[in-house]
Structures are given as C-alpha cells and as structure tokens.
Amino acid sequence: MRLSMANETSPDMTTIVYAHDGESLYDLFFLNHLVKGNCVYLLTFSDNSKSVPKGVRVRKMKEPLHPTISPLTGLNTYLGSFLRTIILKYHLSRISHDVLIGCGGLSYGFYSALSRVSHYVLFIWGSDVVVAPRRLPFRFMAKYSLKKAKVVLVDSQVQEEACIKLGCDPRKIVKFPWVDPRPVLRQIEKNADSQGKMEEAFREKQGWKRNDPIIISTRHHEPIYNLECLIEAIPLVTKQVEDARFLIIGKGSLTEKLKRKVRALGVEKNVVFLGWIPQDEIPKYLKMSTIYVTTSLSDGTSASLIEAMTCRLPVVVTDTPGNTEWIKDGSNGLIFTVRDSKALAEKILRLLRDEDLGNDLAVNAYKTVTEKCDWQRNSRLLDNLISSVVTLK
C-alpha cells in the first residue's frame, strides 16, 4: 500500500529522501540540518545506520547480494547496481517525496541516477570523482551520475574541478565545505569541567603517564585512508621519543591487519585502538591529544581534519589537493608526501621537539576554520538548493 503523507506532515513541508548508509559523519551532519522543518526519509541498504538523528524516518532496503561482497568490485559493480536500483525505485514509489538526495556517484547516487527520478540531487564524495574514475567502469558510473543529477553538491575545489573534467555542467555544481565547527565548540564547552578528570582516568587505564604526548588518528580503517603509513611511522618516532603514544580511533575492513602490523613492529605498548566511538565524544580525545595526523590518499574537505583544527590541535596531513586547500605547510599545519612514513615520522618528531611551533600552528589552524567555515551562510545555500529542485520538479 502506498504511504500517504497527508496525516504525517504539514502541506508546506518538503519531503526529502536521503539515500545513503547513514553511517558517516557527513550523514549525521546533513540529516541533522535537513530534518529541521522537513520530512526526511533515509533509504539505506546498511544494517549499521548509527549516524541518524531523531526525527529521520529510516527505511531499510534489502541488500540483494551477499553482504560481504563489496559494492565496488567485479560483477557486483554492474549486477549489484541494477538490482539495488530496482529496490530503490520500489521504495521511492511508496513515499510521496519532493527531492531525492543520492550520496556518492558510485553507489546511492548512481542508483538514484539509474532510477531516472527528475528531482535528483547528487552529493559527491571525494573518491567518486578524484580517484575511482581512473578505472573505466567507475568512470562511466561517475559520469552518468553527474549527467543525470539536477544539482551536484561538492565540498572542495578539487572535487569541483574533477566533476567538470568528467563532463559535468559547471552551472549545476554547488560548492561549500560540509562542516560546521559550532557543535564541536559546544561539545568542548560542555566537557570543560570534566575534561581533566576524563583524560587522567583514560591515561591511567592505558598505563600512560600524564605528560606522554599523544598522536591521534580518527579516520576509517579503509584503503583510501592508508593508516598503514601511520603504523609504519610509529617505530621511527618511538625510537627517538620512547613515550610517544598513538591513539587510533575508528574501525573498518583493515582494523585487524593494522593491529597485526603493530604487533609485528613491536610497538603495542605505544598504541591503543579505541574502535568506533560516538561522534560527540571525539572532541574529548582530540582535546587530550598533542598532534592530529591524517594519512589519506585522497580527500575533499575532511571533516575529521576540520574537527582537529577546531580543537586547536597542530595537524600533520598528506600532500593532496583537498588538504592543501586548508593547510599551508609551516603556517597552520605540516604537510608530508603521500605514502612516505619516514617523512610523516619526521614531521611528528619536529612537533614533539618544538612546542612553540605546535602552539603557533594550532592557533592558526583554529583561525582558518573560523574564517572559512560559515555554516550559517552555507546552510542557506543548501536550503536554496533544495528549494530550487522542488520548484523545478
């Protein structure tokens, strides 16, 4: 039976279908905003939609293939996409909606494009247009998703340029950073009275001393984030600073492999894998840390990086266009060559030896965020984008 919205929403409400996993920081970020004043549905194939705020109506779609098969490998690239499109179209037909937001040009965005819905907005992830199109099947998928979308939303210059290179009409691209530092600042303020005790208890539990420096990573344990580079840098750092500690937050398909590598390198006492933690708790760990590191192979605007900068941490980042759009080497952070664990270790050691440099970088990093991340302005751009799609529907 077709779902009627008449008894559930105001006539003036916009009904938005947001198609994605509901697992990421970006999902939480956008859904938190969209659910204010709109009726929002999440359509997902994921069983782990943990980043979904109250008020969003979740519709779980049945994954047509075995869950251990990646959506982006082999036969699943083609067969899986068409099967998922059929399932997505079925669920869309049962929700009277005004706008469809498809996230990711190689997954939900591609399924949305194949569904031929005219009021379709594409949210582009960085790897969709920067990395994956180097392989022909993914290039076709990205180009098709971009072509069929009414509007394309990107978060960085490198993404915008990549979309245009793939044939996207620049007039339908909207660009702004997908970050709002205010919730992080509110969380820091909320934790201010308990931060010291929490840090003391955490260090005691790990057997870490009060002044042991902590190097933190908060990226997912997936190939694109290349945490193996960080693991390889650890013995190079601890050889010279024995009490350096490494706090690795998050999890993913490579978690166990990374743990094995830590054991093989003999640095277990210096490393803690904390696993996944709720987003609103991450500022606690950033505030107790000394240095933030990202070893990503590709990024647009990294929300994790902006979080660390908001927490006034000196940051060490890979030399990728998405990162260098935010970080100027030696001014508001340090940059190292992608995949170069020796260079990463040298940057970390430089900060551990020069506290004044770290303080200066942290101050400038925070200043960069406050100047560039104007969510009040950017949220109006998002709202206008949604309204324009509804009008043109």
Per-residue pLDDT tens listing for the chain (393 residues) = 233 333 345 557 899 999 999 998 899 999 999 999 999 999 999 998 988 999 999 999 998 876 554 555 555 666 788 899 999 999 999 999 999 999 999 999 999 999 988 899 999 987 889 888 888 888 999 999 999 999 999 999 999 999 999 999 999 999 999 999 999 999 999 999 999 999 999 999 999 999 999 999 999 999 999 999 999 999 999 999 999 999 999 999 999 999 999 999 999 999 999 999 988 899 999 999 999 999 999 888 999 999 999 999 999 999 999 999 999 999 999 999 999 999 999 999 999 999 999 999 999 999 999 999 989 899 999 999 999 898 876
Do the domain assignments include residue 116?
Answer: yes
Query: What is the model's pLDDT at position 77?
Result: 61
What are the Cα distances from residue 249, in Å, to 215, 272, 273, 303? 11, 8, 6, 15
Tell me if 1 is assigned to some domain: no
What pTM was computed for the model? Answer: 0.84
262 and 171, same domain (yes or no):
no
Look at residue 2 and tell me if it is in a domain: no
33 and 175 belong to one structural domain: yes
Q: Please say whether the beta carbons of 267 and 94 come within 8 A.
A: no
Q: Give the domain CATH number at 46.
A: 3.40.50.2000
The tally of domains found in the chain comes to: 2
Q: Which is it for the CA torsion 309, 311, 316, 318, positive or negative?
A: negative
CB under 8 Å, gap of 24 or more: what pairs does 7-11 form?
Answer: 8/39, 9/39
Residues 136 and 104 in one domain: yes
Domain for residue 6, yes or no?
Answer: no
Same-domain pairing of 247 and 378 = no
Do 111 and 206 reside in the same domain of the chain? no
Instruction: Say what the pLDDT of residue 392 is.
Output: 72
Same domain, 138 and 193: no
Nearest partner of 236 among 333, 318, 343, 330, judged by Cα: 343
Domain encompassing residue 74 = 14-180+374-392
The reply to whether 4 falls in a domain is no
The pLDDT of residue 48: 87
Q: Is residue 338 part of a domain?
A: yes
271/126 same-domain check = no
Q: Are residues 52 and 124 in the same domain?
A: yes
DSSP-derived secondary structure letter, 62:
P
Same domain, 191 and 211: yes
Written as six digits, the tokens of 182 are: 């205010």
Residue 260 phi, psi dihedral angles, 5° rounding:
-65, -40
Whether 151 and 197 map to the same domain: the answer is no
Backbone φ and ψ of 117, nearest 5°: -75, 130
Are residues 117 and 247 both part of a single domain? no
Domain assignment present for residue 62? The answer is yes
Q: Report helix, strand or coil for 314.
A: coil
What residue ranges in 262-303 does DSSP mark as E strands?
271-275, 291-294
Q: Is there a single domain that holds both residue 95 and residue 232? A: no
Closest CA to 203 of 247, 235, 238: 247
Q: Where are the beta strands (DSSP E) in 295-377?
A: 315-318, 334-336
Does any domain span residue 163? Answer: yes
